[in-house]
Amino acid sequence: MRSFFQQATTATPPEIGKLLDDTVAAGWTADVVVKASIPLLEEWLDSLDFSGSQ
């Protein structure tokens, strides 16, 4: 799952769509993907700096 997000965070929107298609094809349901991804998304958002300082 983490490798999915490492790919997704560096991917362009069409690539993200393909990654999502691949996970669904692999038997993941959207519900499972979303529930599993929330903590990783929160971690990723926390790592972003919105303060404007470089």
pLDDT in tens, 4-36: 666 666 666 677 777 777 777 777 677 777 787
Domain-embedded: residue 24: yes
Domain-embedded: residue 21: yes
pLDDT band (50, 70, 90) for residue 41? confident
Q: In this structure, are residues 33 and 20 in contact, taking their beta carbons and an 8 Å threshold?
A: yes
Overall pTM surpassing 0.75 (yes/no): no
Domain-embedded: residue 45: no
pLDDT band (50, 70, 90) for residue 39? confident
Task: Please state the domain count of the chain.
Answer: 1
Residue range of the domain that includes 12: 2-40
Domain-embedded: residue 52: no
Domain-embedded: residue 54: no
Domain-embedded: residue 36: yes
Q: In this structure, are residues 21 and 28 in contact, taking their beta carbons and an 8 Å threshold?
A: no
CA–CA gap between residue 16 and residue 6 (Å, rounded): 11
